[in-house]
Amino acid sequence: MVDTALSEEETRLLKTQIAIEYLIKLYINLLTARAFRVLRLRSFLLHVNAVRYDLDYLRATSGPLFELTDQMTTWRREWLDHAPDADEFQEALGAFFHVLAEFLDDAIAKDRFYLPERARYRAKRSIWLQSGDSLGFKHSGVLLPSLLRGLGGRRYFKIQYRFNRFYVSVPITTQPIPPILAQRFQLQQEMKDYNRRNLPNFATLASSLDVL
């Protein structure tokens, strides 16, 4: 009988990788929201609510990101009765973006972020992930005025992505990759390849970052 139980270290590696992937995806979402000057509020608050689990995975029980996450989850829970005013929320949103970036830099320096070796990784349309010394981004293109949001949400974002490119740098470790993470990457790739061939209209269960 094959022993499939994970060791304590393998569990830690998986939790750390999953949490960092999610937080990088959230960083990218906030980056484009700031650039396009449009925030999908309900989606953002749902994502922030999930950050609590990532902080738990990363063993973070205090600090600026922990405190802002707690504040925003409280706002979400009490929104209908005690919604923050626009200025207060805008200030907290800006602070959240910056402390998220600082937290990610520290977490990756401490625990590392792993990916199979590639020159670049496509995170989503017009957004590329690449290895760098620290978390950061470069933007190229022409941003449409936010007044054009009247075109409709999906259409507005589709046009913005067509005319803009974002290159997000992240400290990435490609060698050596711990065996448990290498197995995870291989499984994700096999699932995507299978679905591409046999179930092209169905998305696979993949990581939140989904760059493979």
- List pLDDT tens digits, range 99-158: 999 999 999 999 999 999 887 888 887 899 999 999 999 999 998 876 776 666 678 888
* Token code pair at residue 13: 């590696």
pLDDT at position 1: 43
pLDDT at position 45: 93
Task: Kindly state the DSSP code that residue 58 receives in the 8-state scheme.
Answer: T
**Residue 93: pLDDT over 90:** yes
The domain locations on the chain are 8-198
- Nearest-10 Cα torsion for 172, 175, 181, 184: 90
Per-residue CA distances from 192 to 53, 67, 201, 205 (Å): 26, 37, 12, 9
Question: Is residue 160 exposed (0-12), middle (13-18) or buried (19+ Cβ within 10 Å)?
Answer: buried
The model carries a pTM of 0.90
